Amino acid sequence: MSVIGKTVDAAPVGAREYLTFRLDQEEYGIDILKVQEIRGYEPPTRIANAPDFIKGVVNLRGTIVPIVDMRIKFNCAQADYNNFTVVIILNLRQRVVGIVVDSVSDVMELTPESIRSAPDIESTIDNSCILGLGSVGERMLILLDIEKLMSSVDMGLVTAGD
């Protein structure tokens, strides 16, 4: 995965880097510090009675890692698995989780000024998991609080009350 040049040369105060990825037509950004690595998709071992967006578990160098398909979770029209399907391995509070996305675009640096708060909109995900909307030129990034999203009960990754 090539990391395309940063938008600004000198990092302004308070700027943070976000890894951006694509789900269908939408572009999302997550805190790069939560990302452990990016891998290709390999068929996971299915887990019975899990929600359909949990594809199963894979072996990541000896660690059993659950794989969540964000495209199914976010109701994308298509969720194909091919050679270009990407899995982002996240490291969230001692937990390792993989998410399946259509593609990874680049790493961007966003200053707090370039982030607007998200309007209240009806969506499949809890609004509190959206940090805001980042605008970079013509592009709009949906910045996710991926840690909060992944630890929410309806993701089914943690036992309720955990």
Partner 1 sequence: MAETYQEGSGAGADFDLSQFYQIFFEEAGENLDQMEQMLLDLDLSDADDEELNGIFRCAHSIKGGSATFGFSDVAELTHQMESLLDRLRRHELQPIPQMVDVLLESADASRSLLARHQAGGQGEAVSTTSLVQRISELAAGQVPDDAPALAAPPPTAPAPVAVAPKAMAVPGAASLTRQLEIQIGPLDRPDQADAIKELFRDIPGLGAIRDLTSSQSNVRVFGVETTSTNDDLLDLFAFHVSKDQVVIRDAGGVVGDASQAALDDDALLAVDASGVDAPYGFFDEAPGAPHVNASPAVPQAAVLAPKVVAPKAAEPKAAMQAQMESTTIRVDVKKVDQLINLVGELVITQAMLAQNSRGLDAGAYQQLLAGLADLDRNTRDLQESVMSIRMIPMSIVFSRFPRMLRDLANKLGKKVDLVTLGEATELDKGLVEKITDPLTHLVRNSCDHGVEMPAERLAKGKPEHGTITLSASHQGGSIVIEVRDDGKGLSREKILSKAQERGLDVSEQMSDAEVWQLIFAPGFSTADEVTDVSGRGVGMDVVKRNIAALNGSVEIDSAEGYGMKVSVRLPLTLAIMDGMSVGVGEEVYILPLSSVVESFQVNGEDVSTVAQGSQLVKVRDEYMPVIALEKIFQVPRFDLNKSSNIMVVVEADGSRVALLVDELLGQHQVVVKNLESNYRKVPNVSGATILGDGTVALILDTGGLVRRARH
Residues at the site binding partner 1, with contacts judged by CB under 8 A: 44-50, 56-59, 61-66, 94-97, 156-159, 162
CB of 41 to partner 1, least distance (A): 14
**Separation between Cα atoms, residue 142 and residue 131, nearest integer Å:** 8
Identify which of residues 59 and 135 has a Cβ nearer to partner 1 in the complex. 59
CB of 97 to partner 1, least distance (A): 6
CB of 7 to partner 1, least distance (A): 33
Identify which of residues 86 and 155 has a Cβ nearer to partner 1 in the complex. 155
CB of 43 to partner 1, least distance (A): 8
Identify which of residues 98 and 134 has a Cβ nearer to partner 1 in the complex. 98
Identify which of residues 61 and 137 has a Cβ nearer to partner 1 in the complex. 61
103 Cβ partners below 8 Å, 6+ apart?
21, 22, 84, 86
